[in-house]
Amino acid sequence: MSRKRKKYDLNSVAVIGNYLPRLCGIATFTTDLCNALSEELGDQGEVVALAMDDIIGGYSYPERVKFQLRANVQADYLRAADFVNVNQFDVVILQHEYGIFGGKQGAHILRLLKNLRMPILTTLHTVLAEPTDEQRVIIHELARYSERLIVMSDKAQNMLLDPFEIPESHITFIPHGIPDVAFVDPSFHKDQFGVEDRKVILSFGLLSPGKGIEYMIDAMPKIVAEHPDAVYIVLGATHPHVKKATGDAYRHGLLQKVNKLGLDDYVLFHNQFVSLEVLCQYLGAADVYVTPYVSPAQVTSGTLAYAIGSGKAVVSTPYWYAEELLTEERGRLVPFGDSNTMAREISDLLSKDLERNAMRKRAYQYARPMVWKEVAKKYLELAVAALKRRVSSPKPRHGETKRPKILDELPDVNLAHLRSLTDDTGILQHANYSTPNRYHGYCVDDNARALIATSMYCAVRQDESVAPLIHKYLAFLFHAFDHKTGRFRNFMSYERTWLEKVGSEDSQARAIWGLGVGVKYALNDATRDMATRLFLEALRKVETFSSPRAWAFILVGLHAYLDVYSGDAATRRLRIVLAEKLHEAFVKNADDDWPWCENTVTYANAKLPHALLLSGQWIPEPKMHETGLEVLEWLLEQQTAPDGHLSVIGNSAWMTRDGARSNFDQQPIEIMALVEACAEAFRSTGDKKWLEQSRRCLAWFLGRNDLNAIIYDFKTGGCRDGLQPHGPNANQGAESTLAWLISLLTMFELLGQEVLVSPMPTGSG
C-alpha cells in the first residue's frame, strides 16, 4: 500500500510572535495563522509557536507554544535560536512589530534571526512612510536575514520599495487572514446581545486613544435624531499596555462623554476580549461597522479585515489600509476627526437598505481570498519555495563565529546580593565575604550607584519588581541632602547618624549622576518628579567645584537628565560650563607623551573621557569628542597586557607622570568606567572596535585578568572587592557589586543597540 503523497514538502514550521491569551492584535493574528497552517498541513506536518512575553512569568499558553521569550532578556533570544536549530524546523515565520521585542526599536530579535540555520519568512505588521534611521536599519536587517518580507497591503509594498529601497523580488504580498463566516442577515444574532429591533453600529478591538472612539460618540446625537433605534456597541477590553500606563482613563473619559451627551441608551461598552466565535456573532449582528482611527499611518488592520470578511457595510477614516480595502464602493471614507460627516454617512447607509446590502455583498465577495485557509496556502507555498532555494543554494550562518564565547553567553542579571546588602535604610557599604557588614554603615556614593543599577535594570529588563529598591535608594539620597547648605552628606552609621556635615565634591557629583539616571529611567511620573526635584536642588552649588572627576560625574548625570528634559536651558548652560572646564584641564596639562589632565592617573579614570564624549556630541563640540576618544584610547593602551587582556592600574599607588605604576589593588569601578566609556564611544562613532573593547573590559570580571581569576561570584550574584597580588579580595561589598551590575547592564543595553548605532549627531540635545 503506497503512502499518501504529501501536499507540501514540509515537516515542521516554527512561528514567532505574540500568542493568545496575551491580549493584542498580533497575538490574535499569530494564533489564527498557526491554527490555519496546522489545519492545512494536517497530519503531514507540525506547527509550533515561540511566544513573546511582556510580563514576568508569561501567560498560560496552549500546547502549541513550545518556547517562551522574555522580550527584554537578551539571552532568551540566543536560547530560542538554539531551540529552533536543535529541533531542525524547516522554516521560521516571524511576526514583526517594532514594539514587541526588546532592545532599541526591537533590535534583540535580530540576534535570534542571525543565529538560525533555516529559511526565515518575516511578516511586517508595521511599515512606516517616514522611518527613523534606526527603524530603517531594522527593516534592512530583517530583509538581510529573511528569504522574503511579507506585507498585507499594496501601500506597505510600495513603502518597502521607497523609502526602504528593498528589492521588489524580496517582497511578497499575502493578505491579512480572516475567519470564513457565512453571509447572514444582521437580525439573526441581535437577540444574543439584547439589541433586537435596533440598528447596530459596531467597533471592536483593544481600546486605546488612537482608535478615535470619541469622534464616533460625538456623531451619535445626529444619528439618533434620524434613527432613534440606533445603538453603537464598542466591543473590546482596554489595551493592556494602555491600562498599565494610564489605567482605564481613556475608557472613563468616553463614558463621561456618553453621559454628558445623554447617550447612555445609545452607546454600549462591552468591556471584554471575546473568543473568535463570539466576535463573529457580534460582527454578524452589526448593520454598519466603523473604524474612526485618528492616524493615516496604518498599513493593516485586523478589525477592518474581519469586518469586510463578514460582509459589513463599513464607514472609516482614510488610513492607508482602509483606503485600499474600501475602494470600488466596498465602504465609505470620512475625514479624520469629522464627526458630522461620519454621522451623515452612517445615517445615509442606515436609511438605504438596498445600497447598504449591495455594499455588504461587494465587501464579502472581495474578501473570499482572505479567508485563513487561502492565506495559509500562500504561506506554505512560500515556505516550500524558500526551503527549496536554501537546499539548492546553501547560505552561511549569519551568527558571529569569531565573537568571544564568554560574551555570547552574558550571565543573567542576578540581584540576590544587591538585595542582601539592602535594608530598610539603604544599601550597606561593605560585606564580610558575602555577608553584609553593618559596622561601616552606609554612604551616598553606593546608594547613588544602586539607584543607577536598579533604574537601568528596570529599563533594560522591564521588571518593576525592583521598585521598592529604587524607592529606598532615592529616599536615602533625599535624606542625605541638606537643603540649607545645598550639599549631600556622605557617610551614615548603622545607627542612622550622619558622620559628617558635608560630603566631598565627588560624592555630591555621584549623587547627581545617580539622580540623572533616575530621571531618565524613572518608574513613573511620581518617581521622576522626586528625582528631578532633588537633582535640580543639588546642582545649585556645583559650578564652583574644582575636582575633574566631580565635573565628569555631574556631566554624565546632566546628559541622562537632558535625555528627558532636553529643553532645560539652565542645565544645558551648566553642561557647557563644566565640559569646558574639564576639556581645558586636559588641554593645559597634556603633552605628546602624557595626554592626561593631572599628573597622576588615579580612580574612576575612564569617567573623564566618557563625560567628554557625551558633552562633545551634544553641545556639540567635535574637538571635545575627539579628545575623549584619544584619552580613552590612551587609557586602554596603558592598561593592556602583552597578551591583550585588561591589566588595570592599581589603587595602591596609581600611575604617575614619571612612568611609575601600581599593578594592584585593581578595582571593579575602573572596569565599570571603562565599559561605560567604550559603550559611548561605540554609540557615537559606530566603530565596532569600541564594542570589542567594552567586551574585553567586561571579561576582566570573568577571568580575563592578570591572575586569570574570576571576580564575579556566580552563586551569590556579588562581586569580589578587587584583584590583589595573591588573588581576589573575597569580600563582596556594594561598590564592587554595583560596578559589576552597571557594567553588565551596560553590555545588555549596548548589544541591543549594536545594529542601530549612527555617527555623532551634529545638533544639540
Query: DSSP letter string over 587-639?
Result: HHH--SS---SSSEE-SSTTHHHHHHHHHHHHTT-HHHHHHHHHHHHHHHHHT
Cell of 571: 542645565
Round to whole Å and give the CA distance between 551 and 608.
Answer: 8
Round to whole Å and give the CA distance between 3 and 181.
Answer: 34
Round to whole Å and give the CA distance between 752 and 104.
Answer: 6
Residue 2: pLDDT band (50, 70, 90) is very low
Whether residue 430 is predicted with pLDDT greater than 90 in this model: the reply is: yes
What is the pLDDT at residue 651? 87
Whether residue 759 is predicted with pLDDT greater than 90 in this model: the reply is: no
Whether residue 754 is predicted with pLDDT greater than 50 in this model: the reply is: no
Round to whole Å and give the CA distance between 120 and 142.
Answer: 9
Instruction: Please report the sign of the dihedral spanned by the C-alpha atoms of residue 621, residue 624, residue 630, residue 631.
Output: negative
Round to whole Å and give the CA distance between 202 and 232.
Answer: 6
What is the pLDDT at residue 392? 55
Whether residue 395 is predicted with pLDDT greater than 80 in this model: the reply is: no
Q: Which residues contact 481 (CB under 8 A, 6 or more apart)?
A: 487, 488, 511, 534, 537, 538
Round to whole Å and give the CA distance between 45 and 380.
Answer: 11
All structural domains of the chain, each given as residue ranges with its CATH number in brackets, are 12-177+373-392 (3.40.50.2000), 187-370 (3.40.50.2000), 437-568 (1.50.10.10)
pLDDT tens-place string over residues 496-511: 999 999 999 999 999 9
Cell 565573537 found at: 403
Task: State the pairing for strand pair 435-443/491-492.
Answer: antiparallel
pLDDT tens-place string over residues 216-275: 999 999 999 999 999 999 999 998 888 888 888 999 999 999 999 999 999 999 999 898
Whether residue 757 is predicted with pLDDT greater than 60 in this model: the reply is: no
Other CB atoms within a 10 A radius of the CB of residue 504 amount to: 18
pLDDT tens-place string over residues 81-101: 999 988 889 999 999 999 999
Of the listed ranges 179-188, 205-214, 392-401, the least confidently predicted one is: 392-401
Whether residue 73 is predicted with pLDDT greater than 60 in this model: the reply is: yes
Of the listed ranges 246-255, 320-329, 403-412, the least confidently predicted one is: 403-412
Whether residue 409 is predicted with pLDDT greater than 70 in this model: the reply is: no
Whether residue 732 is predicted with pLDDT greater than 50 in this model: the reply is: yes
Cell 511578516 found at: 123
Task: State the pairing for strand pair 491-492/600-601.
Answer: unpaired
Whether residue 404 is predicted with pLDDT greater than 70 in this model: the reply is: no
Whether residue 289 is predicted with pLDDT greater than 60 in this model: the reply is: yes
pLDDT above 90: percentage of residues in the chain:
83
**Residue 247, helix vs strand vs coil:** coil
Query: ω into residue 154 within 30 of 0, thus cis?
Result: no
What is the pLDDT at residue 4? 65
What number is the average pLDDT over the span 537-565? 95
Q: How far is CA 435 from the centre of its chain?
A: 35
pTM of the model: 0.69
Instruction: Please report the sign of the dihedral spanned by the C-alpha atoms of residue 399, residue 410, residue 65, residue 11.
Output: positive
- The answer to whether 662 touches 649, Cβ cutoff 8 Å, is yes
Round to whole Å and give the CA distance between 654 and 505.
Answer: 21
What number is the average pLDDT over the span 707-730? 89
The overall average pLDDT reported for the chain is 92
**DSSP H/E element including 332:** strand 332-333
Cell 575633574 found at: 548
Residue 461: pLDDT band (50, 70, 90) is confident
What is the pLDDT at residue 391? 61
Cell of 713: 561570584
What is the pLDDT at residue 514? 97
Q: Which residues contact 676 (CB under 8 A, 6 or more apart)?
A: 606, 607, 610, 742, 743, 746
Sheet architecture: strand order including 46-53: 65-70, 46-53, 12-17, 91-96, 120-124, 148-151, 171-173
Q: Please report the DSSP string for 487-536 in residue order.
A: EE--EE-TTS-BS-SS--HHHHHHHHHHHHHHHHT-SSHHHHHHHHHHHH
pLDDT tens-place string over residues 291-310: 999 999 999 999 999 999 99
What is the pLDDT at residue 402? 38
Round to whole Å and give the CA distance between 412 and 119.
Answer: 29
- The answer to whether 314 touches 326, Cβ cutoff 8 Å, is yes
How many Cα neighbours within 13 Å face the side chain of 737?
35
Q: How wide is the angle at C-alpha 565 spanned by C-alphas 238 and 451, nearest 5°?
A: 80
Residue 527: pLDDT band (50, 70, 90) is very high
Q: Which residues contact 488 (CB under 8 A, 6 or more apart)?
A: 444, 477, 480, 481, 482, 502, 503, 507, 508, 511, 538
**Residue 91, helix vs strand vs coil:** strand
Q: What are phi and psi of 69, to 5 degrees?
A: -115, 125
What is the pLDDT at residue 185? 92
What number is the average pLDDT over the span 738-746? 97
Q: How far is CA 234 from the centre of its chain?
A: 30
